Amino acid sequence: MELSSYIDWSDNIVNSAIKNLTITKKVDRYTRAGQLGKFIVCPHCNQGKTVFHFSWSALSCQECGAMVEKNQWRLL
């Protein structure tokens, strides 16, 4: 299995599991992704993706299309 297909598969599994969770920890300037990445969740649609770096100031959610500032994303 390729790495990209594995990441998409795992993102789908996690998204289905977090539909009804309340996530309170947010991304801040000290957040690091690490070698395996971090799973971030959109505050608008409650869907998430895995990211491997935080060298951005805003990111467009690939599920709902909303432009979200870095400090508004939530960490799982």
pLDDT at 3: 64
Top pLDDT among 18 and 47 is at 47
The total of structural domains in the chain comes to: 1
Residue 55 scores a pLDDT above 80: yes
What single DSSP character describes residue 75?
E
Window from 5-14, 15-24, 55-64 with minimum mean pLDDT:
15-24
pLDDT at 2: 65
Q: Nearest to residue 13, comparing CAs of 54, 57, 50?
A: 50
